[in-house]
């Protein structure tokens, strides 16, 4: 059993992960509209990753006899003015999610919920990877600057990403 505070915080994180999925779908749509199909495909994989993050918490809440209550999703941003602006906003979003996960861990520790703390450690490690993967794309875009040949080379590279469900 989980206490009310943890249950509410985890339900809130389900919404945050679904929102991340929705935001990255909006970014995927932006790249599709610009015919940057490699970036679009990379974002589509990220959408699946975020859905996986949400469902993992969904399952955990159910395993602990809690009830998942889904809330409305906020309208995601759109209309960025460059690929760099999209990736920068994604990276900032991941940093925000990292802070949310850290708050959740603090909450689990305050409530002495060791099972929730252990469960959340998966997300702590995952956020290191998430920030690194968006950060690497950001750095590459910075390197090529306004060079469109460089941008298309990155686009080709981005197309190679496939969704592999993260290890449990």
Using CB under 6 A, which of 20, 28, 104, 108 touches ligand OFO?
20
**Rounded to the nearest whole angstrom, what is the least distance from the CB of residue 143 to ligand OFO in the complex?**
23
For 32, counting Cβ atoms within 10 Å of its Cβ (0-12 exposed, 13-18 middle, 19+ buried), the class is: middle
The three-class DSSP label of residue 164 is coil
Closer of 17 and 113 to ligand OFO (Cβ)? 17
Using CB under 6 A, which of 10, 36, 97, 158 touches ligand OFO?
97
Q: Note whether 14 and 61 are within 8 A (CB).
A: yes
The string of DSSP letters for 66-123 reads: ------PPPPPP---SSHHHHHHHHHHHHHHHHHHHHHHHHHHHHTT-HHHHHHHHHH
**Rounded to the nearest whole angstrom, what is the least distance from the CB of residue 52 to ligand OFO in the complex?**
9
Site for ligand OFO in 105-144 (CB under 6 A): 130
- Residues touching ligand OFO: how many (CB under 6 A)? 7
Q: Applying CB under 6 A, does 17 fall inside the site for ligand OFO?
A: yes
Q: Note whether 114 and 84 are within 8 A (CB).
A: no
**Rounded to the nearest whole angstrom, what is the least distance from the CB of residue 113 to ligand OFO in the complex?**
21
Using CB under 6 A, which of 44, 60, 94, 104 touches ligand OFO?
94
Closer of 33 and 125 to ligand OFO (Cβ)? 125
Phi-psi region of 112 (alpha: psi -120 to 50; beta: other; left: phi over 0): left
Q: Applying CB under 6 A, does 86 fall inside the site for ligand OFO?
A: no
Give the distance, in angstroms, between the CA of residue 164 and the centroid of all CA atoms in the same chain. 15
Closest CA to 97 of 57, 44, 62: 57
Per-residue binder mask for ligand OFO (CB under 6 A), 32-61, x = binder: ------------------x--x--------
Q: What does the binding site for ligand OFO look like in residue numbers (CB under 6 A)?
A: 17, 20, 50, 53, 94, 97, 130
């Amino acid at each position: 059993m989980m206490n009310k505070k943890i249950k509410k915080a985890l339900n809130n994180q389900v919404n945050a992960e679904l929102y991340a999925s929705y935001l990255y779908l909006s970014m995927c749509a932006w790249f599709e509209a610009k015919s940057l199909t490699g970036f679009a495909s990379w974002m589509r994989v990220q959408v699946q990753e975020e859905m996986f993050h949400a469902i993992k918490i969904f399952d955990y809440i159910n395993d602990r006899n809690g009830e998942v209550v889904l809330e409305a999703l906020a309208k995601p941003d759109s209309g960025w003015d460059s690929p760099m602006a999209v990736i920068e906003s994604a990276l900032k979003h991941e940093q925000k999610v990292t802070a949310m996960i850290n708050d959740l861990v603090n909450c689990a520790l305050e409530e002495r919920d060791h099972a929730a703390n252990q469960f959340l450690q998966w997300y702590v490690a995952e956020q290191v990877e998430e920030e690194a993967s968006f950060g690497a794309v950001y750095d590459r875009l910075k390197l090529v600057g306004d060079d469109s040949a460089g941008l298309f080379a990155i686009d080709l590279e981005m197309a190679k990403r496939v969704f592999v469900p993260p290890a449990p």
